[in-house]
Chains A and B, each alone.
Chain A
Amino acid sequence: MTDLPVTDVKAALKPPRNQWLDVWDQFRTHKGALVGLVIFIAIVAAVVIGPFLWRIDPTYVDPNPVNMLKLRNQGPSLARPFGTDQLGRDMLARMMAGGKVSIAVGLTAMALSLFLGTLIGVLAGFFRRLDGPLMSLTDLFLSLPLLPLLLLMVTLFRDSLSQALGVETGIFLLIVTAIAVTSWMHTARIVRGEVLALKEREFVLAARSIGTPSRRLVLRHVLPNVMSPIMVSATLGIANAIITESALSFLGLGFPPDFPTWGRILFDAVDQMQLYPLRVILPGVAISLVVLSVNYIGDGLRDALDPRIRGR
């Protein structure tokens, strides 16, 4: 097919390239995704590395009441760039400590709920026998009143878990599981629908005629093709998880009151919102930035993962 001399043909022949390089090439062309990625990495870096540079204990309250009264509700200054809160705790330190927890909860809960949703969706869509029971389960979970359920789970298991694993890890696991278990249903429904349509496509039949077992059929042919809706679910899921965690903290059922998370900081500041609006704006902006940047990253990734869009 080529008119090149033999040596040139060998030279012109490129071995199959790693697909992830193509994905990255396409991802780079998506401006929004790049900006989102930079912002997200910056926030994560600030939250992870920041506490090593800004060495003020976020939970430190001056034991001397006079000092404490002097220190509280300060505006931004060089010594305290984000000011202090109503107990004189350093806001910058609290924002960093809170961000770590909030982002960790968001990402883990999203990953877990995505895993659950995809698993159930794929099983229900692919195996006809499981479809009925699994979809009834999904409907059951959808019909449950979520907030009371979350509250019940937290009250029931909080003490035993924090005794077994320590307050921080115990409650982290509890909240992540609680959020994941109550938010996988939409992903499952979307994935099931997509899988139902996909499994009738001829390329799945072709794979079957090759003798590909169901397990690899799902991994190789079905999952990559339901990537787009999963991505959308995932990016929305992070936002949802962070906000649910905030709500739980607000109700006093998340982490302990002195333990900072963005949701907690936000709700602590709501009382005095009109006097000190900065304390509401800071965590609010942080949450929105994370959610937005993750949304854009997801958008870019979805486009980059689709070979039909790639290269345009």
Chain B
Amino acid sequence: MLDAASGPGRRKLVEVDGLKMYFPITAGIFRTRVGDVKAVDDVTFDIYEGETLGLVGESGCGKSTCGRAVLRLYTPTAGSVRIDGREIATLDQKDLRGLRPTMQMVFQDPQASLNPRMTVAAIIGEPLSEHTDLTRAEKLARIYELMDAVGLNRNFANRYPHEFSGGQRQRIGIARALALNPKFIVCDEPIAALDVSIQAQVVNLLEELQDRLGLTYLFISHDLSMVRHIADRVAVMYLGRIVELAPRDALYQQPLHPYTQALLSAVPEPDPEVETERRRIILTGDVPSPSNPPMGCNFCTRCPRVMDLCRREKPAFRELAPGHMAACHLYNDTNETVGPATATEASQSIQQGE
């Protein structure tokens, strides 16, 4: 499980093992449980201290749910989440509250994640009044310090969220997340609601804060180029499962899972000459319902290189190259006949993808 790129000496800050988050579907007058929406289905990953793990995938694949379950904003159906050595998946609310300062979250929609009736000072000060006994003056000093850190004018402290632009609101959200000196921050699509010029500002701010404060990020996004910019390692999710997890460069240069290949082929290239060469792998069909995923591999209904085995058996999530893990039957060692053929095929489609 150790990531070669990050070296054996680094400590795992977050360890997620077999995390499942099912939401019950109820029906009838007695509200009996007739099934589950398997939003996150058996997800395993680690995040090393000081790194950024990018979590990518299409809409509705369970990225946000995964991020929220990792912070115990939802109580997971099964599995374990260890942050800084403490198991939080089964902790009761009271003990959990004590651990909250180490883990924080930056939300997707900066408009919705700030209480419209609170001033900026009150919003940034809320974690402080919840977890510290600072005096009013000390708190104000800390609020100003945080506003400086995220590049907000101190005079904005009295203003209300609606008076700010999207980028400024996201800075308020980041300042709030930083208030308690957390170690681990889940960034739940922090840039998805911003326009491109502001996205760069916010991402640079996040990187700068990471360098200065030694933060660890779980960076959830559907923007592959932004993840390539910020993440150290990238996990790709499809229909509630992680299909591939690899160091950034390995993933972008040599994606192994057909879904990752298709996903990467959709990223537009800024160079027009490369862009005209780019050939997209167009997936057919729709994403299956997460309440009724296919029996074998979750991707078997749309995979361009599906085999019989894929429809029968779930592929194991295993290490194929050092630090490069994927869940795909294409790379089964036992499958001698398919092995070499797919390898060449894979390299072809990589070229298409690039």
Question: Within 8 Å CB of B119, what residues of A?
Answer: 16, 19, 307
Question: Within 8 Å CB of B152, what residues of A?
Answer: 1
Give the complex CA separation of A225 and B112 in angstroms.
13
Give the complex CA separation of A75 and B151 in angstroms.
74
Q: Choose among A1, A202, A227 the residue with the greatest number of B CB atoms under 10 Å from its CB.
A: A202
Q: Which of A16, A205, A220, A306 contacts B158 (CB 8 A)?
A: A16
Question: Within 8 Å CB of B131, what residues of A?
Answer: 210-211
Q: Which residue of B lies closest to A200 (CB)?
A: B112
Chain A 17-31 per-residue mask, 1 if CB under 8 angstroms from chain B, else 0: 101000000000000
- Decide if B140 is an interface residue (CB 8 Å cutoff): yes
Question: Within 8 Å CB of B140, what residues of A?
Answer: 15-16
Give the complex CA separation of A221 and B155 in angstroms.
24
Question: Within 8 Å CB of B118, what residues of A?
Answer: 220, 224
Give the complex CA separation of A44 and B155 in angstroms.
41
Give the complex CA separation of A293 and B112 in angstroms.
35
**Taking A209-B73, A211-B97 as contacts, is the C-beta distance between A202 and B151 under 8 angstroms?**
no
**Taking A201-B112, A202-B113, A212-B130 as contacts, is the C-beta distance between A307 and B162 under 8 angstroms?**
yes
B residues 72-128 with Cβ under 8 Å of A?
73, 93, 96-97, 100-101, 103-105, 107-109, 112-119, 121-122, 126-127
- Decide if B264 is an interface residue (CB 8 Å cutoff): no
Question: Within 8 Å CB of A2, what residues of B?
Answer: 153
**Taking A205-B107, A206-B176 as contacts, is the C-beta distance between A212 and B126 under 8 angstroms?**
yes
B126 touches A220 (CB 8 A): yes
- Decide if B45 is an interface residue (CB 8 Å cutoff): no
Q: Which residue of A lies closest to B114 (CB)?
A: A203
- Decide if B160 is an interface residue (CB 8 Å cutoff): yes
The minimal Cβ–Cβ distance linking B113 to chain A, given in whole angstroms, is: 4
Q: Which residue of A lies closest to B125 (CB)?
A: A16
The minimal Cβ–Cβ distance linking A237 to chain B, given in whole angstroms, is: 22
Question: Within 8 Å CB of B158, what residues of A?
Answer: 14, 16-17
- Decide if B157 is an interface residue (CB 8 Å cutoff): yes
- Decide if B154 is an interface residue (CB 8 Å cutoff): yes
Q: Which residue of B lies closest to A211 (CB)?
A: B100
Give the complex CA separation of A190 and B226 in angstroms.
43
- Decide if B71 is an interface residue (CB 8 Å cutoff): yes
A221 touches B116 (CB 8 A): no
B residues 129-163 with Cβ under 8 Å of A?
130-131, 140, 151-155, 157-158, 160, 162
Q: Which residue of B lies closest to A222 (CB)?
A: B115
Question: Within 8 Å CB of B107, what residues of A?
Answer: 202, 205-206
Q: Choose among B71, B115, B126 the residue with the greatest number of A CB atoms under 10 Å from its CB.
A: B115
A residues 262-301 with Cβ under 8 Å of B?
none
Q: Which residue of B lies closest to A1 (CB)?
A: B153
- Decide if A213 is an interface residue (CB 8 Å cutoff): yes
Question: Within 8 Å CB of B108, what residues of A?
Answer: 202
A13 touches B155 (CB 8 A): yes
The minimal Cβ–Cβ distance linking A310 to chain B, given in whole angstroms, is: 8
A residues 1-51 with Cβ under 8 Å of B?
1-2, 12-17, 19
Question: Within 8 Å CB of A203, what residues of B?
Answer: 112-115
The minimal Cβ–Cβ distance linking B324 to chain A, given in whole angstroms, is: 32
B residues 265-296 with Cβ under 8 Å of A?
none
**Taking A1-B151, A12-B155 as contacts, is the C-beta distance between A209 and B71 under 8 angstroms?**
yes
B153 touches A225 (CB 8 A): no
**Taking A202-B113, A210-B130 as contacts, is the C-beta distance between A16 and B121 under 8 angstroms?**
yes
User: Other CB < 8 Å A-B pairs besides A1-B153, A210-B131, A224-B118, 19 of them?
Assistant: A1-B151, A1-B152, A14-B158, A17-B158, A19-B119, A201-B112, A205-B68, A210-B104, A210-B127, A211-B100, A211-B101, A216-B130, A220-B115, A225-B116, A225-B117, A227-B117, A307-B119, A308-B160, A310-B160
Q: Can you spell out 18 A-B residue pairs with CB atoms less than 8 angstroms apart?
A: A1-B151, A13-B155, A16-B140, A202-B108, A203-B112, A203-B113, A205-B68, A205-B107, A206-B113, A206-B114, A206-B176, A207-B126, A209-B104, A210-B100, A210-B104, A210-B176, A211-B101, A211-B130
